């Protein structure tokens, strides 16, 4: 069996060129797309997407000690919420979710030239300030969500809570406390703020 | 006056009621009929063109409005996603409201004047 001859193909071409999509057809298509976008927006607002690095969990010991310039990765608060605690060169301790706020790639700590580059996302060259979590360059739309890290007397590092992009540590702690124990949050002075 | 207005298969403007070859000199007797399987004469003069030429531009405008509104919805979806991810659920719901209202506008642009071609 042989395929269509060139004449037949030209004929099919000619006939399909004649089949019109009217402007009313375009209106119908555009209306369908519009409805789909409205439904999609509803789903997003209702929370189908996973908010990376958000939630509460029991305190987690992430390192016995952390020297300046060192970083340690862990999962907090959930199993899929990759995070990192970093001791900056001046000794201050910070913790960030390492799920990029752009398209959720893994954010890296480049300790060889960390101070000027901060946290680096290799997917689209996003860079976050390691001290503040703010976006310093690249496409990410939001600062990194924060993981609240503290040090105990022995120098061990613990992850104790989370704060969302741009949220203050107190607001994040209070939100976590309210979710777990509203009465305790009230007593801790969290009730007054929204 | 009710919308859409009373249907009349021609224009009030005589200029637009001229025969098709005069209105569209580029259209030949065989335009659209080069399919060699067609052996008989087809529809009469004027078939396949606008019945109400004045309403044609309006239909184009409706398509343009609908597409513009959909672009606005795409933008609103990015704002909603960003707001929800940052924890401002209220902002995300406002964007959803905007998107739903936009959908109603597109629906109106589609459904108004259903006979326009
Ligand atoms: S996913 Fe990190 S910059 Fe695109």
Burial of A64 (0-12, 13-18, 19+ CB in 10 A): exposed
- In this structure, the answer to whether residues A65 and A20 fall within a common structural domain is no
How high is the pLDDT of residue B39? 60
What percentage of residues in chain B have a pLDDT greater than 90?
A: 38
Q: Are residues A37 and A121 in the same domain?
A: no
Q: Would A1 be classed as within a structural domain?
A: no
Average pLDDT over residues A117-126: 85
Is the C-alpha dihedral spanning A56, A60, A63, A65 positive or negative? positive
Tens-digit pLDDT profile for residues A36-86? 999 999 999 998 888 887 877 888 888 888 888 888 888 888 888 899 998
- Note the pTM of the prediction, 2 decimals: 0.72
Domain that holds residue A30: 6-46
Q: Does A81 touch chain B (CB under 8 A)?
A: no
Assess whether A171 and A112 both reside in one domain.
Answer: yes
> Measured from the CA of A126, which atom of ligand 1 is nearest?
3
Kindly indicate the confidence band of residue A111, based on its pLDDT and cuts at 50, 70 and 90: low
Interface residue A142 vs chain B (CB under 8 A): yes
ipTM exceeding the 0.90 mark:
no
- Is there a single domain that holds both residue A17 and residue A66? no
Give me the count of residues in chain B.
117
DSSP notation for chain B: --SSPPP-SS-SSGGGGS-HHHH-TT--TTTT---TT--S--S-TTTTS-SSTHHHHHHHHHHHHHHHHHHHHHHHHHHHHHHHHTT-HHHHHHHHHHHHHHHHHHHHHHHSSTT--
Residue-wise pLDDT for B1-31, tens only, equals 567 777 777 778 888 888 877 887 776 666 6
Pairs of residues, one from chain A and one from chain B, whose beta carbons lie less than 8 Å apart: 111
């Amino acid at each position: 069996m042989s395929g269509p001859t060139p004449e037949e193909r030209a004929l099919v071409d000619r006939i399909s060129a004649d089949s019109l999509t009217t402007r009313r057809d375009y209106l119908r298509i555009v209306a369908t797309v519009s409805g789909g976008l409205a439904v999609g927006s509803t789903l997003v607002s209702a929370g189908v997407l996973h908010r990376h690095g958000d939630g509460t969990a029991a305190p987690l010991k992430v390192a016995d000690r952390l020297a300046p310039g060192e970083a340690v990765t862990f999962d907090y608060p959930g199993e899929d919420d990759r995070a990192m605690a970093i001791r900056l060169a001046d000794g201050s301790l910070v913790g960030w979710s390492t799920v990029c706020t752009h398209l959720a790639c893994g954010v890296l700590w480049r300790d060889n030239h960390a101070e000027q580059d901060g946290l680096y996302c290799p997917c689209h060259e996003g860079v976050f300030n390691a001290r503040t979590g703010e976006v310093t360059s690249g496409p990410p739309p939001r600062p990194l969500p924060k993981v609240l890290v503290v040090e105990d007397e022995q120098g061990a590092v613990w992850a104790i809570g989370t704060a969302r992009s741009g949220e203050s540590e107190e607001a994040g702690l209070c939100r976590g406390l309210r979710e777990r124990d509203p009465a305790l949050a009230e007593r801790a002075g969290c009730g007054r703020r929204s | 006056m009710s919308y859409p207005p009373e249907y009349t298969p021609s224009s009030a403007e005589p200029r637009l009621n001229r025969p098709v070859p005069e209105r569209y000199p580029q259209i030949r007797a065989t335009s659209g009929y080069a399919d060699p399987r067609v052996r008989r004469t087809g529809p009469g003069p004027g078939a396949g063109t606008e019945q109400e030429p004045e309403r044609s531009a309006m239909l184009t405008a409706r398509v343009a409005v609908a597409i513009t509104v959909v672009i606005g919805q795409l933008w609103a979806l990015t704002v909603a996603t960003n707001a929800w991810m940052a924890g401002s659920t209220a902002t995300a719901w406002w964007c959803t409201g905007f998107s739903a209202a936009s959908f109603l506008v597109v629906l109106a642009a589609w459904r108004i004047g259903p006979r326009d071609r």
